[in-house]
Structure 1
Amino acid sequence: MTPSFPPGKIERASLPARDQTLSAHIAFSFPRTPVEPGMTPATRDLVRVGEVRRVCSAKLRGWGLQHCVDPALLLLSELVTNAIWHGSDHRIGVRLSRTSTEVKIQAWGGPVTALTARAPDALDEHGRGLLLVSTIADGWGINDAGWVWCTIVINSGAG
């Protein structure tokens, strides 16, 4: 199923010149329950993160990228969870794609113009998601349509 909102353009991380031809992708969306800012999202929305992980895990394995599954699912979980918690739209969009050199994960919960990885206090329950993304991903950012994206470089000879 394709997202029901503007798809935007696919961004590329700043990587050495390699073949960046899109070779496979999956895109889908699901409804998000409206909540007041600062309130905990509906449980049924948060359960979707696990469903998204299962679908994308199967897709990565089908692409022969077993070595990317664990980091990709962690990054995917962070981006989709952020979209659910902080999104402004009634739908959450997810895209997973691969080229010969990278896997790209994208999430959309409404237009985003800026993100900052912050340093939470040791006892803070939230606030580590983008710190994890910036540490694990080989690149991350926001595209012109407000999709938050990150990439994982596929090692030479793998996939």
Structure 2
Amino acid sequence: MTATANGRAARAEQRLSSTSPVLRLGTTDRAMELCISRSSRPGPGVDGEMSAEDRLWPGRVRRIGREQLRRWKLDDLGEPAELCLSELVTNAMRYGQGPVVGVRLYRTASHLVIEVADGSPDRPVLGIAGSDEENGRGLALVDAVAESWGVTEDGTCTWCRLSVPEDQR
């Protein structure tokens, strides 16, 4: 991690108060991790209910992710990465069962990987939403823009992978 990145991470940590929903923010030259405390009541049987605070997180994570991509000089991945982040974080906040949502972005030589962990063993399912339905398109959008996506064996983390353009490798 560069001195500048260390300084930014330290300043971000200092801005986090004991009441902040962000439990941890860490960045390196290849990875970014964000750990968010949910304010909605997670748990089995609580399906789709989000607090006003939790509804703000997809947009916040998009902005944080966009800034990280700028630092990594992966600006061409901005729109698809923001879409994937938004959809995966929304699903985690809406359907996750854990008290914390973890977001991790990391880059390899050829890919950007986005992981969102929500503590729920329930595996998300790629559905087909009807034209009059308001929900149910998130994973279809991720499927459309990502090179690949999936869920960990235990069901607690959904991930997707985007190809880094040749000229940005």
TM-score of the two chains, using structure 2 as the length reference: 0.77
Among candidates 140, 145, 166, match of residue 156 of structure 1: 166
Q: Measure how far apart 1:109 and its partner are.
A: 1.2
Contact 2:58/2:87 (8 A) holds in 1 = no
Matches of 1:120 and 1:114, distance apart in 2: 18
Q: Which has the larger radius of gyration?
A: 2
Ranked by relative contact order (alpha carbons within 8 Å, sequence separation 6 or more), the top structure is 1
Among candidates 55, 66, 70, match of residue 57 of structure 1: 66
Alignment partner, residue 79 of structure 2 = 70
Contact 2:36/2:101 (8 A) holds in 1 = yes
TM-score of the two chains, using structure 1 as the length reference: 0.81
Q: Measure how far apart 1:55 and its partner are.
A: 1.0
Contact 1:72/1:152 (8 A) holds in 2 = yes
Matches of 2:144 and 2:25, distance apart in 1: 29
Aligned length: 141
- Structure 2 regions of 5+ residues with no counterpart? 1-23
- Structure 1 regions of 5+ residues with no counterpart? 4-22
Matches of 1:77 and 1:39, distance apart in 2: 15
Alignment partner, residue 91 of structure 2 = 82
Shifted more, 62-71 versus 29-38: the winner is: 29-38
Deviations 1:10-59 (A, max 9, x none): xxxxxxxxxxxxx6001111111215613520010110111111111110
